[in-house]
Amino acid sequence: MNRKKIKRQNLIQLLLVVVIVILLNLISVYVFERFDLTAEKRYTLSPATTTFLEEMKDVAYFKVYLNGKDLPHGFKRLQNATREMLDEFRNYAGDNIEYEFIDPFESPDLSTRGEIGRELMQKGLTPTNIEERDESGGVSEKLLFAGTIVSYRDKEIALELLQNNMAISGEENLNNSIQAIEFRLVNTLMKLSKIQKEKIAFIEGHGELSELEVADISHSLSESYEVDRVKINGKLNRLDGVDCIIIAKPDSTFSSQDKYIIDQFIMKGGKSLWLIDGVNVSMDSLMYSSSVLALINQVNLEDQLFKYGVRINPNLIQDMQCGGLRLKTSMPGAPLKFRTFPWIYFPLLMSNNDFALSKNLDLVKTQFTSSLDTVGHPGKVKKEFLLYSSERSRSVNAPIQIKLNIVNEVLEDQYFNKSFLPVAVLLEGEFESVYKNRLSPEFTDNKEAKYKESSRPTKMIVVADGDIIRNDWRVAEGQYAPLPLGYDKHTDMSFAGNKDFILNSINYLLDDSGVMEVRSREIKLRLLDKARVQNDHLFWKLLNVLAPLLFIITFGILFHYFRKRKYSK
């Protein structure tokens, strides 16, 4: 009877387990839940991302060109992180996310591989040259495409998965790339899925940068926004329908009428990006003369910016971390010879890594940059510095005599005793009009004037350098062709930070979904100590092989001993 009772109880328990498992599976079909046990929640998507994915209306297809048998370990990590993130996207978007990983160099035919490489470069992907060092010290080079082509409906965008910041190591670049995967992928999907684009207007008529000088950033912005150029000319309705204005390197005075129109545009919630030189320097004049006088750049915007909470100082930053200036060094009559000298008036700016907009940016190339300060008491406007000079910098007040022969002087660190001078700042909140208490009651009370003395919540970014957004150009077949933003013709180097900073700034100003906050996510870099691995690799190999075997043998002996001791009684 006891045996039958025990057997019945076991059957009941088995049936209960089966029923519970079936019920759990049925519930899981209708209830979706995931548990992220990682310390930094690396597998938890932001609410803005999940909301967007759940509302997708069509299929997005990712062709990820990061595959192959012999991928370096770091790129393997990037590949796995990309695959995991796309799988996470599928959990919310379902079949609206499709992807495949492709090895562009899989074909044994060299001509085919070359043709595929050229096609990917034409679409916007840049190959990365990797040097691998084996244990014997030998070095081999490998070409990789670490990017993806994202297609949605009738549009596609090329997206680089690998960030390349020259100021940090390769391992840190890979880690930053992994951190940014969610933001970069969902931001690309948002660009492709936009039906109605916000409108951006470059203000002109005050000596601002020409259409050619902002051609590269205008092209990049046009992928997500409608880009236009506007002359205000004192007309009240000139900024109607505009969401964001860019004032890029003006060198002449703004009229009171234009200032008023810009002020009221901001009061109505309009976003603005100000790129203003504190000091006016003619680089062209310096190329034809051994010295040039740098004067304060008076464009009649000082009081307006001061009212909003920022002051651009009438000085120039000199920085030991700087770009170069290419000068002719050959004697008259001799063959032309050029040399690039460090030029302390071209600071390479560092970004604020504690803020989403500027996190993990490459160095930002500038020319004749001023510092800025925030003014006014903390209140309804929140202020965040975005770009700084290096820890070895200083500032000199205008007027300044800039001489080319400074490249021959020995620059001593003791004179560069200022650190992290601010160059760019974000202002966010409710602003007061610069015309508050300055206009007659007849005008302010007139309903047709629609005057507002304080703004609704809005944002603006002020940068004390106009050249951050300016691209160089070359003459090809008698026509002017813009060069990529960030390319330095003096050093033949490219600084990706310029374009990333401008694009991030516009995205942040016009972002209402909160997806920019995803950029602040931090995944800790847990790297092996390479020196210790090299010296103690035999010990760790033996430990990994022998320790599990010794554990199993010890467990078996103890189990046998205690079992024998128990049942022998």
CATH code, domain carrying 126: 3.40.30
Q: Is residue 268 part of a domain?
A: yes
DSSP element (H, E) containing 10: helix 2-30
380 in the same domain as 247? yes
Residue 291 and residue 406: Cα distance in Å, rounded? 10
397 in the same domain as 318? yes
- Helix, coil or strand: residue 99: strand
Q: Which residue, 462, 485, 512, sits at the end of a domain?
A: 512
Q: Which residue, 133, 156, 191, sits at the end of a domain?
A: 191
Q: Is residue 311 part of a domain?
A: yes
- Helix, coil or strand: residue 310: strand
pLDDT at 221: 93
pLDDT digits (tens, 9 = 90+) for 508-535: 999 866 676 666 666 665 666 666 777 7
- Tokens 């595959």 locate to 67
207 in the same domain as 108? no
Q: Is residue 465 part of a domain?
A: yes
Q: Is residue 318 part of a domain?
A: yes
315 in the same domain as 273? yes
176 in the same domain as 299? no
Q: Is residue 524 part of a domain?
A: no
Residue 131 and residue 297: Cα distance in Å, rounded? 47
Q: Is residue 14 part of a domain?
A: no
**What is the number of structural domains in the chain?**
2
267 in the same domain as 185? no
Low-confidence ranges of the chain (pLDDT < 70): 1, 31-34, 37-43, 131-140, 166-167, 377-378, 448, 512-514, 516-531, 569
Give me the domain span that covers residue 106. Answer: 47-191
Residue 503 and residue 497: Cα distance in Å, rounded? 10
Q: Is residue 367 part of a domain?
A: yes
Residue 486 and residue 468: Cα distance in Å, rounded? 8
160 in the same domain as 222? no
pTM: 0.77
Q: Which residue, 159, 191, 223, sits at the end of a domain?
A: 191
Residue 184 and residue 519: Cα distance in Å, rounded? 9
Q: Is residue 1 part of a domain?
A: no
Q: Beta strand 338-351 with 381-388: parallel, antiparallel or unpaired?
A: antiparallel
Residue 89 and residue 72: Cα distance in Å, rounded? 26
Q: How far is CA 420 from CA 21, 375, 391, 395, 497, in A?
A: 60, 18, 5, 11, 17
Name the nearest CA neighbour of 398 among 314, 319, 465: 314
221 in the same domain as 154? no
436 in the same domain as 353? yes
